[in-house]
């Protein structure tokens, strides 16, 4: 299969390219090769590569920055995705769009399923949801994969931030009233490969199993790193006064993916342990 990956030099895109290249003919592109906010450029790119499928990882992912850069967030995440969808439909290519748990408002008392109504709280979540709607309305064959709390070896993330802060602080304040599913980008990439090789089109929630608060996540990061000096101090979201509102509970129900594809992602704790080992080796 010939696969085009957008955002190929990002944290997720890098892993997706590496995983898919083991079995498929992969072309990875990033902003240097094509500006997805331009429909002519996007069409020309997709026509030139002529892929069987496109995995659309490119996105503006600065959640707080999106609040002041709303035009840019929608240009990339919504309009850019629309352009990719139009280009894919034009050549009959399958489209897999990577979306986010932030399309939900976090008021649920149970894990979110694919049929729950989205209600984003932030510009970022709204822009990604609009991207989903473009994919649904403009392409015949597509996958939408919502995931959450990504960490990986090819980009800055929460794990790296906590490790760095722990180097010279005795305590770190981390919110304990936001709960979600940390997800290792390598594990997600393997799942995306299974999805794109199928014809089971639709929307799926995919993340590592288990859930935790950001505070609990930080505690496990420091424990695995061997930092016994730094204390994680639980605080409420309001204390940090972040520009973007975030869902208090964004745990995703992954049972549809598991029953459809006959597999599940390992626990976030196992994935984090592997990530920390790799970081310690300098990988």
Instruction: Give the global pTM.
Output: 0.96
pLDDT at 31: 85
pLDDT at 282: 77
Q: Looking at the annotation, which residues are catalytic?
A: 124
Query: Per residue in 16-65, pLDDT tens?
Result: 999 999 999 999 999 888 889 999 999 999 999 999 999 999 999 999 99
Answer yes or no: are the C-beta atoms of 80 and 37 closer than 8 Å: yes
Secondary structure class of 232 (helix, strand, coil): strand
d(CA 103, CA 124): 8
pLDDT at 177: 95
Confidence of residue 283 (pLDDT cuts 50, 70, 90): low
Residue 281 has pLDDT above 90, yes or no: no
Minimal CA–CA distance to 4: which of 72, 93, 71, 80? 93
Query: Per residue in 102-133, pLDDT tens?
Result: 999 999 999 999 999 999 999 999 999 999 99
CA dihedral over 268, 273, 274, 280, signed as positive or negative: positive
- Catalogue all structural domains in the chain, each as residue range(s) with its CATH number: 2-156+184-207+252-265 (3.40.50.720)
Minimal CA–CA distance to 212: which of 261, 257, 162? 162
How far from chain centre, in Å, is Cα 161? 18
Mean pLDDT of the chain: 96
Query: Per residue in 199-229, pLDDT tens?
Result: 999 999 999 999 999 999 999 999 999 999 9
pLDDT at 117: 97
Residue 10 has pLDDT above 80, yes or no: yes
């Amino acid at each position: 299969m010939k696969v085009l990956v957008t955002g190929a030099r990002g944290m997720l895109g890098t892993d997706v390219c590496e995983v898919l290249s083991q079995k498929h003919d992969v072309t990875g592109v990033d902003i240097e090769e094509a500006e997805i906010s331009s429909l002519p450029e996007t069409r020309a790119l997709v026509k030139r590569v002529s892929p069987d499928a496109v995995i659309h990882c490119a996105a503006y992912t600065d959640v707080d920055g999106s609040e002041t850069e709303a035009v840019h967030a929608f240009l990339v995440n919504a309009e850019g995705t629309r352009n990719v969808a139009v280009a894919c439909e034009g050549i009959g290519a399958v489209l897999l769009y990577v979306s986010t748990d932030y399309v939900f408002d976090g008021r649920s008392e149970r894990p979110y399923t694919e049929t729950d109504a989205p209600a984003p709280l932030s510009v970022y979540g709204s822009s990604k949801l609009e991207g989903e709607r473009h994919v649904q309305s403009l392409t015949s064959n597509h996958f939408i994969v919502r995931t959450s709390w990504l960490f990986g070896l090819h980009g800055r993330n929460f794990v790296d931030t906590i490790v760095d802060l722990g180097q010279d602080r005795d305590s770190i304040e981390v919110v304990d009233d936001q709960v979600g599913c940390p997800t290792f980008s390598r594990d997600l990439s393997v799942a995306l490969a299974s999805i794109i090789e199928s014809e089971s089109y639709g929307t799926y929630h995919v993340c590592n199993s288990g859930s935790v608060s950001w505070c609990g996540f930080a505690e496990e990061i420091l424990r695995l790193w061997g930092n016994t000096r730094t204390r994680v101090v639980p605080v409420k979201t309001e204390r940090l006064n972040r520009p973007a509102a975030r869902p208090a509970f964004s745990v995703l129900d992954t049972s549809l993916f598991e029953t459809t594809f006959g597999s599940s992602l390992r626990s976030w704790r196992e994935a984090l342990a592997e990530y920390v080992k790799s970081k310690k080796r300098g990988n």
